[in-house]
Amino acid sequence: MDYDNLKNLKLNIEKMPSVKIVNPLEGHSQKINQIQEDAQRQMDEAKQKEERYNQDVLNTLKNIEKNTGDISSLVSLVQSCGDKQDEIINVLKKVMEISQAKTEEEADSLYRNVMDNANQLNEDVETATKLIGFGKIVWLAVKEYIKNSS
């Protein structure tokens, strides 16, 4: 190709047609920003949901651990009170009877009965406290169940 001829070529820029360059994304930047914001919000919500789930799992595991400790404590309580085992088991049965309550008033009455029976054992304060504490756990769970069932 002969480039020497191109050197002498003169262009008249004024007579050249104008070319408009069109940005295909022009006018869509707001939509793009909205899509990005929506995606970020969804990611944040998913992360929060996962964090709540993890916290719930942790709380459940802690409750299982605590309840397992309570059961071990009750077994130890029955085993350590040789001459009062039958009376302690009777109080534990009364604790479980709270579970049969159909109303909060009935649950309250059964719990008061547990407290009275535990206090009448004439054992050490720790025994009565453990039995009443176990009774309270069941009593509160039953009351919550009754509230949620209504």
- Kindly report the number of other CB atoms within 10 A of residue 60's CB atom: 10
Given a cut of 70, whether residue 100 has pLDDT beyond it is yes
pLDDT band at 68 (very low <50, low <70, confident <90, very high): low
In angstroms, how far is CA 51 from the centroid of its own chain? 9
Digit-coded pLDDT (tens) for 7-35: 676 766 666 666 677 777 666 777 888 88
Given a cut of 80, whether residue 51 has pLDDT beyond it is yes
- Kindly report the number of other CB atoms within 10 A of residue 74's CB atom: 18
Q: Tell me, what's the pLDDT at 107?
A: 94
- Kindly report the number of other CB atoms within 10 A of residue 3's CB atom: 6
